[in-house]
Amino acid sequence: MKKRAPMSLRLHVDVLNVTPISQDCCWSSFQAAGFRTFIVAEPGGNRVVFVNLDACMASQLVTIKVLERLKSRYGDLYGEQNVAISGIHTHSGPGGYLQYVVYIVTSLGFVPQSFDVIVDGIEQSIIQAHENLHPGTIFVNTGELLDAGINRSPSAYLNNPAEERSEYRYNVDTNMTLLKFVDDDWGPVGSFNWFATHGTSMGRTNSLISGDNKGAAARFMEDWAKQKSIAEQIDSTYPRRRISEHELRQLASSFEASGGSQSTKSFSIRNSFRQGNTSQPKFVSAFCQTNCGDVSPNVLGAFCIDTGLPCDFNQSTCNGKNELCYGRGPGYPDEFESTRIIAEKQFNKAVDLFSAATEELKGKVDYRHTYIDMSSITLSNGGPEVVRTCPAAMGFAFAAGTTDGPGAFDFKQGDNKGNAFWKLVSSFLKTPGQEQVNCHKPKPILIDTGEMTQPYAWAPSILPIQIIRIGQIVILCVPGEFTTMAGRRLRDAVKKVLIKAGHGEFDDNVHVVIAGLTNSYSQYVTTFEEYQIQRYEGASTLYGPHTLSAYIQEFSELASALATGQNIPAGPQPPDLLNKQISLLPPVVIDSTPNGVNFGDVSTDVPQNSTFKHGEMVSATFWSACPRNDLMTGGTFSLVEILHGESTWLPVYDDDDFCLRFIWSRPYNLSSQSYAKIEWRIPQTAVPGVYRLRHFGASKNVSGLISHFAGASRAFVLA
């Protein structure tokens, strides 16, 4: 009998409600952030860990601290060599957890609360996966997914050689690669897939914490794997007598809003609701990011918000103004609908690949990892000339933003000259030397981040690169966002090295995928030709025009070492800047309510004697307190409950469901009072019955004491 490699998957939700993306003025969530982890181990041999994080990107500092904790707990079993932590590039995740200045400006500096809960969550996810290793089989499948992404910088893509472009049908990667995990005892227990599209279905004005289209797709697939909706599970566990709509209304009328009261944390409620009491492993599905650098989910294209006409092709401007040019998602103008549509496209393709997966992964579990100094890598330019990378710098077009989130002022994509006024402004930060200017040409330098070190480093120079192998799948863990063509070149180069150096161990069937935004973050990577155009991605390619060539050179060395069984030097160590971080986000001072009002009381209730239908929105607003008092990790701020019998309320939907939104706000910035609005878009899978909305929270008094509270809305009928 074949000896199966132990494997484990673990869904650890949630970071969920971390801290505000920016200031403490508005805060909300509609789909939880979380951690999904797989561990694959050879019996008595190598093992690898891959963590998919529902946040914008990985953080070097988070990775350092997670590895320190794993070292303390497991010794040398898990380390930088075999642990990968990858972000999905949602623009709606928490902020303030990266260590370099330029990446934490918008969150008012470092946010310890965000950082701590992310590190804790990743650690717990890995621990749970480690403790649940079981023998099993892994299958791989690939397939084409169309209309889930378009190239948002097509003018830059067109600057790639025509001969190279002719090899590909589309100017974006349309391939999804999926791993199917099957437990020897329990059967299918999870899947991880990689597909290139940005997590920017939710626009720049969105203030809700969200996993965007990839986070939503993961929840859709995990719910699909249950074979029954949550409501159906409750029905089978707690059979209900079918009653008429008139009887439902009578029942609902007897339940007015409960009023706010002291409460325990919502963890136990959510835990029993999501995890259940079965010993069977919960299905885990992760929708991971790959070379999405120039790929937008706003597939209708970019249009001017003042005229409705298409934006300028080369610069994505409207009458010279970049801030008027926005990409439109398939559900335009409803960004929630756009998110759902792109999520469902990925989910449906993943289900197809999962159901048809038959190619079993066979072979070694292995890995290679090293650190490289991207500010000073020398390489041959295909001839006698030797070129190098540069200390990091961002170009003028960086400030123009993209059609997924335009910048401001008079910056434009495609600007390879800059202008005198902004050059003067940038000189107050640092004026780059002539060598730096020449190194980055034709990029005009707006911010010379790589040479700015006060109060501490503005951008990374030491970066991790890593290869993970599981049989015939090879995962390239990159600390940035590769554009479509840049990713193709890297994959092709690594595949050629593996086949040549592997002496038969690898063949054309090897699956090479890129895991973007992994272990650290260093913005974008374009091809040399795309860099010349200086769209947003080129201006955000930090280390100059030869950045991609440097990655190809360094990954080729890693791949050769992997294929030949050779070790590779660890490289220079990245800095740990935790003790240098500056935090400017003010703490919560005190929460309050008007006289005679309790925390959790309803401010605006569901209409009396109301009946709703599928697809309609139900909402209620509660007197609340700042969510930063307790992030409810493992719990929930909002809940939909269904009435069972005449007096028992059972949970059916919470913060982790796409259909439920939790929106927190203050009446004005410095107010100590706040509201929590809960909105439930009734899904088609919801069963008829009597429902109510609930809110959980925690308030802080003048002495700093935290007290938990809960409240419930008036009951209503779903007919």
Name the binding residues for Zn(2+): 89, 198, 481, 524
Task: Please check whether residue 51 is in contact with residue 84, taking contact to mean a CB–CB distance below 8 angstroms.
Answer: yes
Q: Which residues are annotated as a binding site?
A: 89, 198, 481, 524
Count other C-beta atoms under 10 Å from residue 646's C-beta.
8
Of 546, 345, 364, 305, whose CA–CA distance to 443 is shortest?
546
Q: Which amino acid is at 119?
A: V
- Compute CA distances 490 → 142, 149, 252, 290, 526, whole Å: 19, 21, 60, 12, 11
Percent of residues in the chain assigned helix, strand, coil, to nearest 5: 25, 30, 45
Of 613, 621, 594, 592, whose CA–CA distance to 257 is shortest?
621
Examine the residue annotation and report whether 263 is marked as an active-site residue of this protein: no
SS3 559: helix
Structure letter (DSSP) for residue 172? S
Buried b (16+ CB within 10 A) or exposed e, 259-298: ebeebebbeebbeebbeeeeeebbbbbbbbbbbbbbbbbb
Question: Cβ neighbours of residue 450 under 8 Å, at least 6 residues apart?
Answer: 375, 390, 391, 392, 393, 458, 459, 461, 542, 543
Task: Please check whether residue 114 is in contact with residue 106, taking contact to mean a CB–CB distance below 8 angstroms.
Answer: no
SS3 149: coil
Distance CA 451, CA 477 (A): 26
SS3 69: helix
Distance CA 652, CA 686 (A): 9
Count other C-beta atoms under 10 Å from residue 421's C-beta.
10
For the chain, count helices (H), then strands (E): 15, 38
Beta strand 706-712 pairing with 689-700: antiparallel
Q: Which amino acid is at 502?
A: G
Of 219, 293, 716, whose CA–CA distance to 482 is shortest?
293
Buried b (16+ CB within 10 A) or exposed e, 524-542: bbbbbbbbbbbbbbbbbbb
Residue 470 β-bridge partners = 365, 473
Of 396, 388, 403, 431, whose CA–CA distance to 533 is shortest?
396
Residue 318 β-bridge partners = 321
Name the catalytic one among 114, 296, 461, 674: 296
Distance CA 78, CA 367 (A): 12
Task: Please check whether residue 418 is in contact with residue 534, taking contact to mean a CB–CB distance below 8 angstroms.
Answer: no
Residues with a catalytic annotation lie at: 296
